[in-house]
């Protein structure tokens, strides 16, 4: 779950559960009230009609008052507002009672409502986040269990917008913005992959453009809830396969899922790179490489259909940069870049000529040239 301040509504948060996302159907930011699943109580952005967890038709969110608001978690964090609900719990904005600053608290359902597999998944996510230490991954501030409330995870509160919102707001990214995103996301992926962690849900909603107090933008990789741990933590004698899924389950978002994910085959770092290739294609063109009327048709295209050339929509795109995007979208993992670091280095090598061609194109269109990441509106 991404926990982040809504850029156009200060003090409010956006919660993006994992659900099927098809081109042209990505919802806008959260509003009030949010549709909610009557079965699992997962909340969704306005416009989504069915639950991505159990397929139930969504209804209006309950108007009942959350009894946890105003209470303290572990005598340290005061829960100020519920900002979203998911299949396994809720996310709250919170403040520390002794130190300044705002936090986001992910709270698992307490008591008998929390199934063993949900607890195992929650603990695995904590274990994974503790292993992936990077300025481009949101860190854990605290993790624990409250006798009255259940398992909880505390993370910093982000400010800004995710990539899906940025694309919906202003369209495709200028090349300087795109290149900064490539640099930051590949750094996060390289760190995760070196720790034996495969994200498995790389998509625009999970790439966040965080604006710090000094106005600088840092790209963050969010939501390791579907991540796979290829090897157990040091000293852990348990299996390296992720606990929350079976070997034949299809996990991820159909619009960015790698062919091996669709086919329930073993995945490694190159699966994440394929998904990031889909993100790059959309960030460049404003369109996904594959579109379909259903998730099943879309997943079939991920496996069998060749991607279109992004230069068809981006006449300024250099041949070398286009080749990188198409290599990322190769059906066979052996034909893709073999690591996030290899991708970063290849992109950096092709960038000077790519920027030159992009700037020439911009000069023919407008005297204004964007040189950095666009900042979200105040």
3-state secondary structure 183-230: HHHHHHHHHHHHCCEECCCCCHHHEEEEECCCCCEEEEECCCCCCEEC
Residue with tokens 């490489």: 289
Count of beta carbons in the 10 Å neighbourhood of residue 172: 18
Measured CA to CA, the distance from residue 191 to residue 184 in angstroms comes to: 11
54, 40 contact by CB (below 8 A) = yes
Cis status, amide bond into 33, omega within 30 of 0: yes
Per-residue CA distances from 340 to 14, 146, 319, 347, 355 (Å): 28, 38, 20, 10, 21
Beta strands in 111-211 (DSSP E): 142-146, 150-156, 158-162, 197-198, 207-211
Running DSSP on this structure, what letter comes out for residue 291? -
Measured CA to CA, the distance from residue 225 to residue 234 in angstroms comes to: 21
Catalytic (active site) residue 66 = no
Measured CA to CA, the distance from residue 37 to residue 44 in angstroms comes to: 8
Buried b (16+ CB within 10 A) or exposed e, 322-347: bebbbebbbbebeebbebbbebbebb
Per-residue CA distances from 161 to 15, 80, 289 (Å): 11, 21, 23
Options 54, 75, 201, 242, the catalytic residue: 201
**Lookup: tokens for 167:** 């694309």
Q: Which of 139, 59, 54, 133 lies closest to 104 in space, CA to CA? A: 139
**Lookup: tokens for 161:** 């917008």
Count of beta carbons in the 10 Å neighbourhood of residue 209: 26
**Lookup: tokens for 301:** 């295209």
Q: Which residues are identified as catalytic?
A: 201
């Amino acid at each position: 779950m991404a926990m982040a301040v809504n850029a156009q509504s200060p003090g409010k948060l956006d919660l993006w559960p994992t659900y099927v996302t098809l081109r042209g159907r990505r919802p806008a930011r959260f509003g009030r009230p949010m549709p909610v699943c009557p079965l699992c109580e997962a909340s969704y952005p306005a416009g989504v009609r069915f639950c991505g967890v159990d397929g139930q038709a969504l209804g209006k969110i309950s108007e009942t008052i959350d009894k946890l608001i105003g209470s303290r978690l572990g005598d340290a964090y005061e829960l100020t507002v519920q900002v979203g609900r998911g299949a396994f719990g809720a996310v709250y904005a919170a403040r520390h009672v002794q130190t300044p600053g705002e936090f986001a608290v992910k709270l698992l359902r307490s008591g008998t409502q929390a199934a063993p597999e949900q607890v195992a998944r929650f603990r695995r996510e904590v274990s994974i986040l503790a292993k992936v230490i990077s300025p481009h991954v949101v860190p854990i501030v605290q993790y624990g269990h409250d006798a009255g409330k259940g398992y909880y995870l505390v993370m910093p509160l982000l400010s800004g917008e995710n990539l899906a919102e940025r694309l919906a707001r202003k369209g495709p990214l200028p090349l300087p913005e795109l290149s900064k995103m490539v640099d930051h996301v590949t750094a996060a992926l390289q760190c995760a992959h070196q720790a034996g962690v495969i994200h498995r849900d790389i998509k625009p909603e999970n790439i966040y453009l965080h604006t710090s107090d000094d106005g600088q933008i840092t790209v963050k990789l969010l939501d390791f809830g579907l991540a796979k741990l290829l090897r157990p933590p040091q000293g852990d004698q348990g299996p390296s396969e992720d606990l929350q899924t079976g070997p034949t389950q299809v996990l991820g978002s159909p619009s960015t899922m790698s062919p091996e994910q669709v086919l329930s085959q073993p995945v490694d770092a190159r699966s994440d790179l394929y998904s990031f290739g889909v993100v790059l294609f959309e960030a460049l063109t404003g369109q996904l490489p594959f579109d379909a009327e259903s998730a099943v048709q879309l997943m079939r295209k991920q496996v069998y259909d060749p991607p279109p050339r992004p230069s068809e929509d981006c006449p300024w795109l250099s041949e070398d940069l286009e080749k990188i995007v198409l290599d990322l979208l190769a059906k066979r993992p052996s034909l893709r870049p073999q690591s996030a670091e290899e991708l970063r280095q290849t992109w950096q090598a092709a960038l000077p000529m790519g920027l030159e061609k992009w700037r020439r194109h911009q000069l023919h269109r407008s005297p204004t040239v964007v040189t950095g990441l666009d900042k979200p509106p105040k």
